[in-house]
Structure 1
Amino acid sequence: MHTHTKYTPYPTVKLDKREWADKSFTVAPRWVSTDLRDGNQALANPMGIEQKIAYFKALVEFGFKEIEIAYPSASQTEFDFCRCLIEGGLVPDNVTIGILVPSIERHIVRSFEALRGAKRINMHLYNPTASNQRDVVFRRTKEEIIALALQGVECIKREAGTFEGDVVFEYSPESFSQTELDFARDISNAVIAAWQPTREHRMILNLPNTLEACSPNIYADHIEWMSKHIINRESVIISVHPHNDRGCAVASAELAVLAGAQRVEGTMLGNGERAGNVDIITLAFNYYAQGIDPRDIGREYKDSIRINSQSGKGGVAYILKEVYGIDVPKEMQTVIADEVKRLSESRGGEIGSEEILGIYEGMIRVVKENR
């Protein structure tokens, strides 16, 4: 029996002029960690509060400026975690924390309660949009689904009016990748019109590859089509949230950025529900390989290179070149590496880049003095 015939090909997108295919990378997108929400949902035993706090601190140390921390209206643990971060003063002033919330009033109110006291938050609203969700699960018409989204927008606007911190608004047509494009456009434009973003206070439109059922080029076509058909485009940041069901999440994210996306939501090493999320580490290093610095996620490359007694002369020379722009003469590389090994063995640990620089400069002084 040919069981593959039960599947139908994913529909393609008609673009009058496909532009993304002729573009190349120039800057990295905005990076958003969803480890504490998407990644946590993937665990058989979700993290407790102490584990989530430790993870949050690590994400801040990595340099993330946008972190989706929880789904606080879903459980008491998630709610309490938000309160611990805020009441404990663990959120740096330059970090925006975000949460996911369905377009249901009690969930929205509860989410604002969870984030009370934060200086800058991201309220990420979503509601079902795919045809099977509309027809089978919610049994609502397209018009009723749009009305549901707008109810959520109005509720967030009302709650934001009394919130003391800054509120960034994000909207996701849930299961965007399984939603008819014209309906995704219609509901997104209705939300944009209701929120009324400006160039100074932009909103985020997140277009998730919720279930990766298409090839990366078709996903890119979807993003370009939406980018060309939403209203008030200059006041909207297009974000993508690729999953990895086909194993193509990284490629989908890269092509989506070429197609107009300005922001990528993902997790470290791709951990996430089902087949996982886009792996931000792989994606970031792919950009690095095209000449764009991981510093865009707040990380110095020199911080990730480690030198110890097992390192060769190439690694030591690379540190001096990459971090300090010093081309070490080949005749000096072995001598420097030997001194680094000696110091590492005597200490029993790693040697920092500053120490390697000191060894190099000391040897240069000796050479000059002996001339």
Structure 2
Amino acid sequence: PNTYADQIEYFSRHVHNREHVAISLHPHNDRGTAVAATELALMAGADRVEGCLFGHGERTGNVDLVTLGMNLFSQGVDPQIDFSDIDEVRRTVEWCTQMPVAPRHPYAGDLVYTAFSGSHQDAIKKGLEALEVQAEAQGSTIHDIAWEAPYLPIDPHDVGRSYEAVIRVNSQSGKGGVAYLLKSEHSLDLPRRLQMEFSRIVQARTDSEGGEVDADELWRIFNSEFLERTEPYHLVSTTAASGSGAGDTVSATVRVDGKERTIEGEGNGPVSAFVDALGSIGVQVRVLDYAEHAMSAGGDATAAAYVECEIGTGDDSTVMWGVGIDPNIVTASLKAVLTALNRS
């Protein structure tokens, strides 16, 4: 590529009446360097490029105008080609040529905006979150600010793609991909240690069954593991009250192995009081970590609570996470404690 660019530069400098000459490039891809050679030759002074969409042409093909154009676009240079619906461009070319575009073809393949690797997923997740924070600070959207995300040279939205397939989960995936899908699809912002625990559960599923886990299947696994665990402990009703300087009290009706029990406890918060109440029926629980957040804005927002509990004492103790979702944050927290118990 550099030798080709040198030739273009030499010709451009020495040809007579340069201003009346259009230097047109017509590279082929016999050595796999057509795009690189074209980019360098354009920098060396060329005026025009002759190529083919997706690199069709003789032998190994002409320079790929899709890759070349989108490379320029990613660096802020308008290629003067409309790729805003790149899937339609691909379908048209595939129909005309009866040749499929490879799934990993730059910018247009099915998998090019997809990450399976755990470390890549984690980097993309953090990059997209940083863009959201930056966009919110500017009162804009991530589509309207300068794009900068790991492993994504362009905003998939610019070529008509969505973020739904950016992160996909299989046996190679780590906590980052699982956490991203739960947050983007279901507004659940899992604490780091819970991310690690749930990713191991998902990985065990993909190892045993093979293939991928999509967002719907991921939610079914999460729901089954954390939200549908209502036995042997199930919260029927609860009442919490804040005392004046004497801490909080909780009165709850809990179904234990199908039999309802009314328990009461005190503590420095509703969760602490509930744990105290559980002690009255011989259930030993110690809260190690706690997090909560609203899942949406507004007065009728649903809340999610995450509680890490040590259940039991001494050598017989076990550490488990529980999750609770409810319009009432106190109820969500108490449900989370019982979920941890039911998983132990």
Q: Which protein has the bigger helix share? A: 1
Structure whose alpha-carbon radius of gyration is higher = 2
- Normalised by the size of structure 1, how large is the TM-score? 0.30
> Whose RCO is larger (CA < 8 A, sep 6+)?
1
Q: TM-score, normalised by structure 2?
A: 0.32
